[in-house]
């Protein structure tokens, strides 16, 4: 039996059977996530699977059955994730959201989670459509795209990656649900990142948004996708640096001592430049293309728990002796 670096079988990373539509991009993401969590060796009991409401938000039930899951209210998962991490900073917080849950109803909490640099992985399973309520536009739908019934989107799209970079995000990546080769290493890098790791995953809705007028259909994306860089995530305990030619590889050291190696397609791309990332995103968008890969990373910014100078002990484990004012100090309060 194959086991991972903490000696667990891959089956332990599986969940309940999916109830999403057959062929849904979200199911592909779930499978890649299972591989990434297994490969990384995340302890199932330390994983906190957080989500809001929508098709994407159902997916935490479909992987790592042993972990605790929290399917909250629409657009408010970041706040619940923040509370959970503050209560127990040992948790690996994995938030799964969709484009409506993030960019429409949840835009405020998305922005403030990023501002605080909450240590979590935040996936946007982005299909530009409300699937669960049967096919209305979300705020990530491209200007000019059409619904199945012919309605044309008249409003500018919100680019959750561009927005995240503007808000000070410390890890921003974009990928495609059908591209496991790119997505799995990005997921592992996101888990290793100490801070908010935003992963916008274009995930076609086969039922409501995979038709000719959509800009997030399989056919459209396959044709227009640009691959900016190819990250290979390597854990330090493995010490594998495999076959990356010097000069084509960029190494970024994460706070926990691990590294992300970036292979640049475009020799000029620098994932440590916030302005460069914004330009690249805008340039790609200008050509009607998706720029994928690790778009921006800054591992040096402290996460929320560090900024708050929280004790290493999970707050949930503190007792009366740690938390109450001492008797002597107490009586001084009333003199």
Interface residue list for other proteins (CB under 8 A): 44-46, 48, 50, 60-61, 64-73, 76, 78-88, 90-91, 108-109, 111-112, 116, 304-305, 308-312, 314-320, 322-325, 327, 329-331, 333-334
C-alpha distances in angstroms, 22 versus 54, 86, 137?
16, 37, 21
Tell me the DSSP string of 94-137. EEEEEHIIIIITTHHHHHHHHHHT-SEEEEEEE-SEETTTTSEE
52 or 299: whose CB is closer to other proteins? 52
CB of 209 to other proteins, least distance (A): 24
Integer-rounded Cα radius of gyration of the chain: 21
CB of 167 to other proteins, least distance (A): 12
Helix axes 180-192, 25-40, angle to 10 degrees: 50
45 or 237: whose CB is closer to other proteins? 45
1 or 312: whose CB is closer to other proteins? 312
Inter-residue contact 102 to 175 (CB < 8 Å) = no
Inter-residue contact 18 to 27 (CB < 8 Å) = yes
CB of 109 to other proteins, least distance (A): 6
CB of 329 to other proteins, least distance (A): 7
- Which pair of structure tokens corresponds to residue 228? 């900016």
88 or 272: whose CB is closer to other proteins? 88
24 or 48: whose CB is closer to other proteins? 48
């Amino acid at each position: 039996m194959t086991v991972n670096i903490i000696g667990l079988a891959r089956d332990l990373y599986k969940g309940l059977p999916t109830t999403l539509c057959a062929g849904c991009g979200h199911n592909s993401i779930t499978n890649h996530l299972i591989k990434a969590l297994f490969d990384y060796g995340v302890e199932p009991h330390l994983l906190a699977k957080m989500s809001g409401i929508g098709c994407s938000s159902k997916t935490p039930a479909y992987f790592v059955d042993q972990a605790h899951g929290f399917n909250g209210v629409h657009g408010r998962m970041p706040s619940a994730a923040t509370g959970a991490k503050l209560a127990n900073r040992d948790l690996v917080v994995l938030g799964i959201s969709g484009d409506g849950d993030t960019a429409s109803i949840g835009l405020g909490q998305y922005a403030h989670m990023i501002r605080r640099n909450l240590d979590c992985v935040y996936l946007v399973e982005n299909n530009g459509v409300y699937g669960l309520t049967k096919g209305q536009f979300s705020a990530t739908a491209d200007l000019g795209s059409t619904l199945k019934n012919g309605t044309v989107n008249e409003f500018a799209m919100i680019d959750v990656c561009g927005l995240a970079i503007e808000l000070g995000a410390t890890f921003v990546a974009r990928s495609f649900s059908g591209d496991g080769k790119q997505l799995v290493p990005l997921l592992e890098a996101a888990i290793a990142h100490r801070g908010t790791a935003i992963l916008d995953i274009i995930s076609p809705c086969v039922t409501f948004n995979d038709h000719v007028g959509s800009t997030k259909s399989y056919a459209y994306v396959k044709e227009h996708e640009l691959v900016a860089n190819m990250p290979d995530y390597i854990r330090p305990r493995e010490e594998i640096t495999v076959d990356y030619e010097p000069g084509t590889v960029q190494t970024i050291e994460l706070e926990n001592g691990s590294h992300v190696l970036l292979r640049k397609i475009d020799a000029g791309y620098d994932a440590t430049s916030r302005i460069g990332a914004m330009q690249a995103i805008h340039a790609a968008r200008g050509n009607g293309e998706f720029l994928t890969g690790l778009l921006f990373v800054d591992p040096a910014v402290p996460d929320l728990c560090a900024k708050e100078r929280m004790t290493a002990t999970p707050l949930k484990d503190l007792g009366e002796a740690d938390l109450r004012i001492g008797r002597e100090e107490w009586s001084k309060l009333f003199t």
